[in-house]
Amino acid sequence: MSDAIRRQFHAQLVEVKSEIVHLGALAMETIPRATAALLNGDLKAAQSLIDDDDIIDVKSIAIEDACMRLFALQQPMAGDLRSLMTAIKLNWDIERSADLSVNIGKAVRRIYGVELPPSVRGVVEQMSAEAYRLTRLAIDAYMDLDLSIAAALDDMDDRLDSLQADLMRTIFDAHETHGLGLQPAVQLALIGRYYERIGDHAVNIGERTQYLVTGWLPEHTGAARADARARHAADAQADGATWS
Partner 1 sequence: MELILIAIVALAAVLAFACVLARTRVKNRLISLAAALGEEPPGSASVSDLLSLVERSAERVRRHDSEVERQQQRFALALSAMTQGAVLCDEFGSTVMHNAFARTFTEARHGNAIVRAAIDDMLGRACNGEHDQREIELFGPPPRLLFVTAQPLLDGDEHLGALATVDDITDQQRIESIRRDFVANISHELRTPIGAVALLAETLVDEVDPLVVRRLSIRLRDESFRVSHMIDDLLALSQIEGDGVTESERIRVAHLVGEAVDRIRPAAEQAGVSIKVADFSEGLALRGDRRQLVSALFNLLENAVKYSDAGSIIEIRAAGDDDEVSMVVQDHGIGIPAKDLDRIFERFYRVDQARSRETGGTGLGLSIVRHVARNHGGSITVSSREGEGSTFMLMLPTGLEAPARAEVK
170: contact with partner 1 by CB under 8 A: yes
47: contact with partner 1 by CB under 8 A: no
83: contact with partner 1 by CB under 8 A: no
98: contact with partner 1 by CB under 8 A: no
Task: Please identify which residue in 81, 88, 143, 149 interacts with partner 1, judged by CB under 8 A.
Answer: 143
199: contact with partner 1 by CB under 8 A: no
140: contact with partner 1 by CB under 8 A: yes
Nearer to partner 1, 49 or 107 (CB): 49
Nearer to partner 1, 81 or 147 (CB): 147
Label each residue of the chain as H, E or C: CHHHHHHHHHHHHHHHHHHHHHHHHHHHHHHHHHHHHHHHCCHHHHHHHHHHHHHHHHHHHHHHHHHHHHHHHHCCCHHHHHHHHHHHHHHHHHHHHHHHHHHHHHHHHHCCCCCCCHHHHHHHHHHHHHHHHHHHHHHHHHHHCCHHHHHHHHHHHHHHHHHHHHHHHHHHHHHHHCCCCHHHHHHHHHHHHHHHHHHHHHHHHHHHHHHHHHCCCHHHHHHHHHHHHHHHHHHHHHHHHHHC
22: contact with partner 1 by CB under 8 A: yes
Task: Please identify which residue in 9, 12, 39, 189 interacts with partner 1, judged by CB under 8 A.
Answer: 39
Window contacting partner 1 (CB under 8 A); options: 74-82, 134-142, 154-162, 221-229: 134-142
Interface ranges with partner 1 (CB under 8 A): 18, 21-22, 24-26, 28-29, 31-33, 36, 39-40, 117-123, 125-126, 129, 132, 136, 139-140, 143, 170
